[in-house]
Structure 1
Amino acid sequence: MFQKKSSFLGSTLGVLVVGIFAMASLTSCTNPNTPAGHEGYVYEKPRFFGDGGYRDTLKGPANYGFSLWRNQVINIDMRPSTYTENFKILARDDLNISFSFHAILSIRMGSVQQVVENFGGEKWYERYVRETFRTYVRDAVQRYDSRDLKTQRENIAIEVTEKLRAYLEDTPFSLTKVVIGNINYPEIVANAVEQRLAAQQLLSEKETQKAIARKDAEIRIEEAKGIAEAQRIINATLTSNYLQHEAINAQLKMAESPNHTTVYIPVGTNGIPLVKESR
């Protein structure tokens, strides 16, 4: 009787152990997958046994497949992305300037294992690139006076790009471009600039008005010269005979008019009449 009970207990215990092991195995099954544009770092995360560590690379979109091992995946976006850093930096003339820099970065395909194991995985930008990028920007900006920053922005972007590319040369990371965003001066400076521009505009308008007045004066002078010349010509041609001729013609026209009654008294010089109109 005792032997039967022991055999039964042993069998039950064996079935229970097998069942627990089977359940643990089933719950440990995983199917790592990687979306498009990403690379997946597949690694084992053992529960009871296994070596753990890197297993394979997935190039998305892809699935690793079901496995009895606890395989996990770290997906890294390999596509170009824009990383923005905002700054408030003292320029060489000690003016605090606010602006932003944008770096377009990507990761070389096939390098996900290196990225995860050597550069912080998903945090690669924060851990490896960010502070160096910011340092290069500060060094470039602080060599210029604030008034020169807008005119030198292209040169600053080129300098930062060259330094950052050299820094990333032996890494999985690739720099496409560095772009400077809006440059914002302190409010007092912005107001001063606006006032200066307004003054320049007003000065330009005054210069225009002055030029117009000068031209108007030149026109009036020329008109006066023309009038004087006309008067000179008229005075030179107003001889006694010409005036007498004009007076006679005027008398004839008046005499022929039915609307006026005019009496001519030839008492003027050379018979030119004094005219009196009767009403």
Structure 2
Amino acid sequence: MFQKKSSFLGSAFGLILIGVVSLFSLSACTNPSTPAGHEGYVFEKPRFFGAGGYKDTLRGPANYGFSLWRNQVLNIDMQPNTYTETFRILARDDLNIHFNFHAILSVREGSVRQVVEQYGGENWYPRYVRETFRTYVRDAVQQYDSRDLKTQRENIAIEVSEKLRAYLADTPFSLTKVVIGNINYPEIVATAVEKRLAAQQLLSEKETQKAIARKDAEIRIEEAKGIAEAQRIINATLTANYLQHEAINAQLKMAESPNHTTVYIPVGTNGIPLVKESR
């Protein structure tokens, strides 16, 4: 009886032990995966034994597969992403300028192990790039007066791009482009600019009115010249003989008219008649 009981207890203990081991094994299994556009840094994080550390690289989308070891993955986005920095910088004329600067950066393929082990993994931008990027922007902007920044924005972007590319040349990171966002001046400056533009517009209108008045005066002068010339020609042609000729022609026309009521008395100078209206 005792022997059977011992055998039963031994079997039960064995089943319990197997169950515990099975549960432990299942909980210890991992299946690291990496999404598309990413590379995965697979590493071992053992509980009680094992060397740990880097195991393999995954290029997404991919799975590492089930393992009894405590394998994990750190995924790094390899696609181009835009990193934006906001600035308030004193320009060369000590005016505080507010603007954003954008850098499009990506991680080179096949470099995930280097990124994780040397550059801080997924925090590579704030740890390795951000402050250098901001320094290059400040240095470039402070070479110009505030009023020149909008016209020089392309030159500033080129200068920052060249410096940042040189800085990243021997790293796993690649610069695609840098872009300056809207440049905002202090409100007092914006108001002053608006007033200056309004004054320029008013001045332009005044110049236009002045030009119109000048043209009107020229037209009137030309008209006066035309009238004077006409009068000169008329005066030159109004001789006594001409007036006498015109008077005689007028008399003939009136004489030929059946309904005239005017009587001509040819007692004027040079035979030009005096005219009397009949009532």
TM-score between both structures, scaled by the size of structure 1: 0.92
SS in 2 for 1:151: coil
The answer to whether the 8 A contact 1:78-1:107 is kept is yes
1:148 CA drift (Å):
1.5
In the alignment, structure 1 residue 167 sits paired with structure 2 residue 167: yes
Deviations 1:101-146 (A, max 9, x none): 0101111011111111111111111111111111111111122211
Q: Which residue of structure 2 aligns with residue 49 of structure 1?
A: 49
Q: Which residue of structure 2 aligns with residue 211 of structure 1?
A: 211
Deviations 1:221-263 (A, max 9, x none): 1221121111111111111111122222333444455665222
Number of residues of Structure 1 aligned to a counterpart in Structure 2: 279
CA 270–40 in structure 1, closer or farther in 2 if over 3 Å, else same: same
CA 85–257 in structure 1, closer or farther in 2 if over 3 Å, else same: farther
Deviations 1:82-117 (A, max 9, x none): 111111111121111101101011110111111111
Rounded to whole Å, the distance in 1 between the matches of 2:90 and 2:222 is 60
Q: Which residue of structure 2 aligns with residue 146 of structure 1?
A: 146
Q: Which residue of structure 1 aligns with residue 121 of structure 2?
A: 121
Q: What amino acid is aligned across from residue 202 of structure 1 in structure 2?
A: L
Rounded to whole Å, the distance in 2 between the matches of 1:247 and 1:124 is 112
The answer to whether the 8 A contact 1:101-1:180 is kept is yes
> Gaps (5+ residues) in structure 1?
none
Q: What amino acid is aligned across from residue 130 of structure 2 in structure 1?
A: R
SS in 2 for 1:171: coil
Rounded to whole Å, the distance in 2 between the matches of 1:67 and 1:131 is 41
Rounded to whole Å, the distance in 1 between the matches of 2:138 and 2:131 is 11
Q: What amino acid is aligned across from residue 215 of structure 2 in structure 1?
A: K
Rounded to whole Å, the distance in 2 between the matches of 1:117 and 1:259 is 125
Q: Which residue of structure 1 aligns with residue 192 of structure 2?
A: 192
Deviations 1:51-105 (A, max 9, x none): 2222211111222222222222222111111111111111121111101101011
The answer to whether the 8 A contact 1:255-1:262 is kept is no
SS in 2 for 1:56: strand
Rounded to whole Å, the distance in 2 between the matches of 1:222 and 1:57 is 92
Rounded to whole Å, the distance in 1 between the matches of 2:206 and 2:195 is 16
Q: Which residue of structure 1 aligns with residue 67 of structure 2?
A: 67
CA 127–262 in structure 1, closer or farther in 2 if over 3 Å, else same: same
CA 155–258 in structure 1, closer or farther in 2 if over 3 Å, else same: farther
TM-score between both structures, scaled by the size of structure 2: 0.92
> Gaps (5+ residues) in structure 2?
none
1:150 CA drift (Å):
1.3
Q: Which residue of structure 2 aligns with residue 78 of structure 1?
A: 78
Rounded to whole Å, the distance in 1 between the matches of 2:259 and 2:142 is 95
CA 69–210 in structure 1, closer or farther in 2 if over 3 Å, else same: same
CA 254–48 in structure 1, closer or farther in 2 if over 3 Å, else same: farther
In the alignment, structure 1 residue 177 sits paired with structure 2 residue 172: no
CA 83–278 in structure 1, closer or farther in 2 if over 3 Å, else same: farther
Q: What amino acid is aligned across from residue 246 of structure 2 in structure 1?
A: E
SS in 2 for 1:150: coil
Rounded to whole Å, the distance in 1 between the matches of 2:65 and 2:197 is 68
Deviations 1:31-68 (A, max 9, x none): 22222211111222223333222221111122222222
Q: Which residue of structure 2 aligns with residue 136 of structure 1?
A: 136
CA 277–78 in structure 1, closer or farther in 2 if over 3 Å, else same: farther
CA 9–203 in structure 1, closer or farther in 2 if over 3 Å, else same: same
Rounded to whole Å, the distance in 2 between the matches of 1:201 and 1:128 is 50
Q: Which residue of structure 2 aligns with residue 264 of structure 1?
A: 264
Q: Which residue of structure 1 aligns with residue 158 of structure 2?
A: 158
Rounded to whole Å, the distance in 1 between the matches of 2:134 and 2:254 is 100
